[in-house]
Amino acid sequence: MATLQQQQQGRDRIRLALLLTPGLLWLVLFFALPLVIIFVYSFMTNDALGRVVYQPTLDNYITVFTQSLYINAYWRSIWTSVLTTVICLLIGYPLAVFIARSPQQWRMPLLMLILIPFWTNFLVRIYAWQIILANNGIINGFLELIGVGRLPLLNNEGATLIGLIYGELPFMVLPLYAAIDRFDFTLMEAAADLGANKIQAFLRIMLPMTMPGIVAGSVLVFIPTLGQFVVSELLGGAKVDYLGNLIQRLFLRANPINWPLGSAMAVLMMIVLLVLIMLYFRATTEEER
């Protein structure tokens, strides 16, 4: 005969299993399974019609590591993602401080202003940037008016960067706001009282204490930026290849399409992400240990 406590524990375990099942199923079906498929495909071969042939090989990885087209795409994507993350951080941090330090009744409206763009489809917003940056667009119209003349603003890597920063900024601001809002600004007064100037107080107190927000925001910006392909196509003019563009092309538009090579690129991208994020966590959480 089980004790009452054991009966209770048994019942708790059943409840827990019931509650976790849907989530677990979802993860297995839509996360783990596709991941396994991609991983397996990355070691397969392609035939002339673009079908996956089950013939194990390392060729796909060798191709990625040896052909400059692919290697360059990695470097370009990593560099662009780092740049996007850093610029989002530099814009987002002061913005988040400003919102967190605003009078209570202003904070929600200001946060809403950050979120309102999400009410419109992302593609539509990127097309809007085309209109802004185009040769006969809004900015160039103004530049011509004041006599500067038209500048090539669209269809280059700068335009891609602008679009990425624009799109990702909210994902930086929101976690930063959450961290800064929790930060007790009396600590800055305490630091000043103990002889720290503004910069010292920021570096020694506020920065380490809001680091969780910086890490969260950076990761949220960096990951989607590394794999993006829409912005570089619509604003960058698809002149240079980013990781996302290559993978998308290999899966859908190449002739013949090449799923195994695309899978190898995707797996490597995941590894790059894992390594970079691990390094980042290690670098930013050192203070705590």
d(CA 47, CA 195): 70
State which of residues 191, 214, 215, 267 lies at the interface with another protein (CB under 8 A). Answer: 191
| Phi, psi of 68, deg, nearest 5 | -60, -30
User: For the window 205-224, what string marks contact with another protein as x by the rule CB under 8 A?
Assistant: x--xx---------------
Neighbours of 235 (CB within 10 A): 27
Torsion 246-165-274-72 (CA) sign: positive
Give the tokens for residue 125.
Answer: 């917003």
- Window of 11-19, 98-106, 121-129, 199-207 that interacts with another protein by CB under 8 A: 199-207
Q: Judged by CB, which is closer to another protein: 120, or 200?
A: 200
What single letter denotes the amino acid at residue 147?
Answer: G
Give the tokens for residue 69.
Answer: 């087209």
Q: Judged by CB, which is closer to another protein: 117, or 212?
A: 212
State which of residues 135, 189, 275, 282 lies at the interface with another protein (CB under 8 A). Answer: 189
Q: Does 200 bind another protein (CB under 8 A)?
A: yes
Q: Judged by CB, which is closer to another protein: 12, or 184?
A: 184
Q: Does 287 bind another protein (CB under 8 A)?
A: yes
d(CA 62, CA 69): 13
DSSP string, 80-141: HHHHHHHHHHHHHHHHHHHHHHS-HHHHHHHHHHHHGGGGS-HHHHHHHHHHHHSTTSHHHH
Q: How far is the CB of 213 from another protein (least distance, A)?
A: 14
Q: Judged by CB, which is closer to another protein: 213, or 236?
A: 213
Q: Does 187 bind another protein (CB under 8 A)?
A: yes
Over its C-alpha atoms, the chain yields an Rg (Å, rounded) of: 24
- Window of 123-131, 139-147, 192-200, 267-275 that interacts with another protein by CB under 8 A: 192-200
User: For the window 146-185, what string marks contact with another protein as x by the rule CB under 8 A?
Assistant: --------------------------------------x-
State which of residues 68, 105, 112, 288 lies at the interface with another protein (CB under 8 A). Answer: 288
Measured torsion, CA atoms of residues 150, 155, 161, 165, in degrees rounded to the nearest 10: 80
- Residues lying near another protein in the complex (CB under 8 A): 184, 186-187, 189-197, 200, 204-205, 208-209, 287-288
